[in-house]
Chain A
Amino acid sequence: MINKMNKLLTLIFLVAFTIIELRAQEEASTIQPTIMAIPFAKEGSSTRRMYEYSELNRIALTKVKEAFDQRGVNTIDFRAKLKQAQNAEALTEDQEMTLKDEVIRMSGADIYVEIEANKDYSKTGNSVTVIMTAYDAFSGESLANKVSSSPKFNTENFEKLTQKAVEAEVDNLLNTIQDKFNLMIENGRTVTMEIGLEIGIDIDLDSEVDDSGYLLSELIEEWVADNAYKNYYHIQGTSSTKMIFDIVKVPLKDANGRSYRTTKFVIGLRNYLKEKGIKLNRTITGNAIIVTLSSL
């Protein structure tokens, strides 16, 4: 009897342990992206000015960050990164304009959300409208847009109105971003690839480089078709000197569950072309791959 009980307890323990282990693995496989809220700066004005001179923008940014934090999202403080990125006195006017890119690059944020807050005055009451636009920092692709207005109140307490406007839509903003993530997990991430030739190379993309009877461009396309995630790609155009893939899907994670790096995709193409006697040089910026081919 005691023996049976022991067996049963061991079985229960094993089942419980397996469930906990599976949950932990699932949890660990979710990449938690970092998000940074930044003020929207229109043409001709700098991000820093939009933050420092607009109290409403500062409130909106803080409220959005608060809302993200409450939802358990990893956030990056824009103010801290701004301070890190700038030495205000030393920045020229042109540098001010590129400060946004610099802050995003330095922050390491996966997503940045541009926030624009505006006061609306009316006889029936005041309100605040907040525009929130989320972008993938890697590709610059827009992930979600939300416009939210607070209810009208006879008040000058714009902080409260901003909070109301943000709270009304911030969950939907995150839900829409999550929907996009789910699509990315299913369909992969989009990268673009432009293939060109080094000046002076004695072959072009219309040359036959092996005994298969295919042109170099056809061989490259075949390789991309085989190696794109779920074999999904799209060619914008091909000529004897240039090939432009405007969509090549790559997976989000590799076979080991780690983040898939774009370089990995290019390494495969480089090794393939090496066998054909062609050298591949590449530059990768965000989701854009620029490839230059030359002879080995």
Chain B
Amino acid sequence: MKYSIILFLLLNIVACNKVNMQFQRSGSVNAVEHENSIIVLSSLAQAENSDKAIYFAERNAFENLLFKGIPNTNQESPMVPNENNAMNGNATFFKNLLNNQDYKRFVMDSYTKSNSRSNGLDYVEQIVKIDLRAFRSYLQSEGITKKFGL
């Protein structure tokens, strides 16, 4: 009985210490190829399981595209010029797009190029193919970015 209590407590401690990683944007997004209205990105991320790591990698790709721009592609400047203003004025939109994975509507293809596990975390390199034109039109229609013009 005494041992079962100790075991129970130990299991509880382990369960409590289980990593619950939150998404953090990183610059680990690189261009694989781009043509006309399509962009293919390679994005790195890690999380406690591979599904979550894949989500983080895809979200990272989209956030870099939106707020930072991707060097050596057809979208070098950020799609959203001012992240703070956009986030403040459109919190629900960005929550749906990024947290609720609405961005998936613009993912033409997404696959894991490499996956490894170390120190209880899954590390993935995700290749994400994005329909840039449709995504740009969507941002315009939702009033997040404005149409080309003055």
Asked if A178 is an interface residue, CB under 8 A from chain B, the answer is yes
Asked if B36 is an interface residue, CB under 8 A from chain A, the answer is yes
- What CA separation (Å) do A182 and B149 show in the bound complex? 9
In the complex with contacts A70-B133, A168-B74, A179-B77, A23-B149 CB distance below 8 A: no
* CB-based contact A168/B34 at 8 Å: yes
- What CA separation (Å) do A182 and B131 show in the bound complex? 25
Among A27, A169, A176, residue most surrounded by chain B Cβ atoms (within 10 Å): A27
In the complex with contacts A26-B143, A167-B35, A167-B36, A31-B75 CB distance below 8 A: no
Q: In chain A between 1 and 57, which residues have their CB closer than 8 angstroms to a CB of chain B?
A: 23, 26-27, 30-33
Asked if A73 is an interface residue, CB under 8 A from chain B, the answer is yes
Number of A residues, CB within 8 Å of B: 30
Among A30, A71, A175, residue most surrounded by chain B Cβ atoms (within 10 Å): A175
- What CA separation (Å) do A21 and B76 show in the bound complex? 33
Residue in B37, B76, B77, B149 whose beta carbon sits within 8 Å of that of A33 in the complex? B149
In the complex with contacts A172-B74, A172-B76, A172-B77, A70-B149 CB distance below 8 A: no
* CB-based contact A31/B74 at 8 Å: no
* CB-based contact A185/B150 at 8 Å: yes
Q: In chain A between 155 and 207, which residues have their CB closer than 8 angstroms to a CB of chain B?
A: 164, 167-172, 174-179, 181-182, 184-185
Asked if A252 is an interface residue, CB under 8 A from chain B, the answer is yes
- What CA separation (Å) do A242 and B77 show in the bound complex? 43
- What CA separation (Å) do A73 and B140 show in the bound complex? 13
A-B contacts, 17 of them at CB < 8 A, read: A23-B143, A26-B146, A30-B146, A30-B149, A31-B150, A33-B149, A67-B36, A70-B37, A169-B74, A171-B74, A171-B132, A174-B148, A175-B76, A175-B77, A177-B148, A181-B149, A252-B150
